[in-house]
Structure 1
């Protein structure tokens, strides 16, 4: 018999689980919804203790029986106290379920994953932060996709909600690693844009720390609904929880070798002089053999890495073979290849990342080795939303905007991104003629990202924006880090040649 402990996200309490609890108990399982402490002085440690006390109060054999296993379920913010409790009572917990929740590590705060920018502003207010007020019925979309929720559900959420104590969001999570060996299940609510396919792509091409998601002890399920499945589809959620407790779920399959994030670049990209200026690195074409000095000024391509990525990612994007390869290959063909390390660490960071990119552009154009009249921006993956600013008000020196398997409209559940970072909308409202676009499309792109690209192409047709397309039919998102093929090598080489041809034009 499984014993479920159910902990919900911010503002909500145990009542939100009522229908799921009923279904679980009808199946013969125990189900215990948790109401976390709500007093203003409560912090994350308080909520960890709330969950620990409930675990300790259960009438279970000691040591636990295989027929009475505790399954801790953390939804959204609640994965923080759930992991904290699992760390302290690892010997009594059989499984941790991340219900549309992140993967916080030791030292992380819940605030880092809060999508509503107004909360960040509130907690930075002078005089100290007060409780975070719960959303009104029309504001819940700032916290996640509301697909599947009726007006009655949204009113219920607001009626049952209470202010969130601020220190529950700002106090770091402390973990000893005791629970790291516990089986884990991720339940993804796909209306928010995250699917098992997308997670598998990130594990395959992303930084090494994501490889833990391919552990055979980790399983995944999808629910085709928004962020509150306990309201929108309680029957389906209860069924998935029972299957998770039975150790079902899809396992990820990725190559056993080292993460492809560190794999060498797929084209020959010889080393070249490298200059670091703030957040931007400049990779320069060959210097003069006789004098040892740089010739120029040269046109330049600024590569904008994808994201969001962790702040402590190792190697950092500008030191990773992927972006080093693009920059060095560009330099080998006679243009400055520059890489900006921007701070897109979460979906609320687009404005900060946009400032970082703008600063990098200014540094690049001010360098005497760079022809400031001939600049291209090359943007990858989730950073694609940053293209909106350069489409809305294109400067005359921006000769080309290159986009590689980009996200070109906010994904479902990304309401916190805001209207500024919507390249599709920017095309339709641009103040001036948008720059020529070079678009590299992966033929095996994840469906939700591919949908944003189709929307962009529709808008480009309507606005007569010139787009040169480089298709890579048999490749996936992040294909450069897969085993190279003739198709992928030619696609990257063609994209670079096309961008540089744009920069070579005199007007």
Structure 2
């Protein structure tokens, strides 16, 4: 039995996986959705250096999980990628779902596609938090009106401290066994850093014809992708 530890991206807590967890459990796997400190039901709790990495490692160690597949979506690929090397032989694989990936010494903010100053200003102007997206921001991502309503309702401001937290890696990310899931409505090609990694042995690339939030737009298909990962030797 594979133990899936599921971590959603910015603004979202464990409830983001509500339509994925039942399918994984029905397939005979463990499924453990995580709410990171400072979002969702943990809004208002302080976030310090490496807090989100510690959140993920704590779930694995506290529940004594083995044969673990860490799943990181969007922003959470950064703490998930760091947590993966910290859980040692408990790790089976990492799955990055349309995710940012960590680079030693870099943060989500420092690699922001518009330049770090843009995101820093947005966070500063919102009291140190990244404001959630509005319904209009989800257009073109393969989501129904009801799915967008769930996304908006489940989003809370995201602590800027986690977004500017610089990654700490002790070895090259390419040494981890990993699968990258590229959601094609969010761009037809993976970013350059991801493309380099999926060219390496031990990394796989999977595509989904949906938008950036497949746990909402295509939960059953995402379950099939994840159970396929669990079946890999």
Provide TM-score, normalisation by structure 1. 0.42
1:479-494 correspondence to structure 2 within 5 Å:
none
Residues 211 and 15 of structure 1, relative CA distance in 2, 3 Å threshold = closer
Look up the match of 2:41: none
1:224-235 correspondence to structure 2 within 5 Å:
224-235=209-220
Displacement, 1:174?
A: 1.0
Between the aligned partners of 2:57 and 2:3, the Cα distance in structure 1 is 14
Equivalent pair of 2:128/2:161 in contact (CA under 8 Å): no
Look up the match of 2:87: 89
Displacement, 1:236?
A: 0.4
Q: Does 1:218 align with 2:203?
A: yes
Equivalent pair of 2:182/2:208 in contact (CA under 8 Å): yes
Look up the match of 1:52: 57
Between the aligned partners of 1:244 and 1:18, the Cα distance in structure 2 is 20
Between the aligned partners of 1:59 and 1:105, the Cα distance in structure 2 is 28
- Secondary structure in 1 aligned to 2:129? coil
Q: Does 1:242 align with 2:212?
A: no
1:98-117 correspondence to structure 2 within 5 Å:
98-114=96-112
What do you get for the CA RMSD once the two structures are aligned?
A: 2.5
1:464-475 correspondence to structure 2 within 5 Å:
none
Between the aligned partners of 2:224 and 2:174, the Cα distance in structure 1 is 25
Look up the match of 1:132: 130
Look up the match of 2:180: 186
- Secondary structure in 1 aligned to 2:182? strand
Equivalent pair of 2:6/2:72 in contact (CA under 8 Å): yes
Q: 1:164 aligns with which of 145, 155, 158?
A: 158
Q: 2:144 aligns with which of 129, 143, 150?
A: 150
Displacement, 1:83?
A: 1.3
Between the aligned partners of 2:129 and 2:46, the Cα distance in structure 1 is 9
Work out which of the two has the higher radius of gyration on C-alpha atoms and give 1 or 2. Answer: 1
1:330-341 correspondence to structure 2 within 5 Å:
none
Equivalent pair of 2:69/2:95 in contact (CA under 8 Å): yes
Equivalent pair of 1:94/1:182 in contact (CA under 8 Å): no
Unaligned runs of 5+ in 1: 204-208, 249-507
Q: 2:77 aligns with which of 55, 79, 87?
A: 79
Displacement, 1:231?
A: 0.6
- Secondary structure in 1 aligned to 2:72? strand
Q: Deviations over 1:135-187 (max 9, x none)?
A: 2212346xxxx422112211211111111011111110111128652211000
Unaligned runs of 5+ in 2: 39-43
Aligned length: 226
Greater relative CO (CA pairs within 8 A, separation 6+) = 2
Residues 8 and 113 of structure 1, relative CA distance in 2, 3 Å threshold = farther
Equivalent pair of 2:174/2:197 in contact (CA under 8 Å): no
- Secondary structure in 2 aligned to 1:94? strand
Equivalent pair of 1:191/1:224 in contact (CA under 8 Å): yes
Between the aligned partners of 2:186 and 2:169, the Cα distance in structure 1 is 28
1:11-22 correspondence to structure 2 within 5 Å:
11-22=11-22
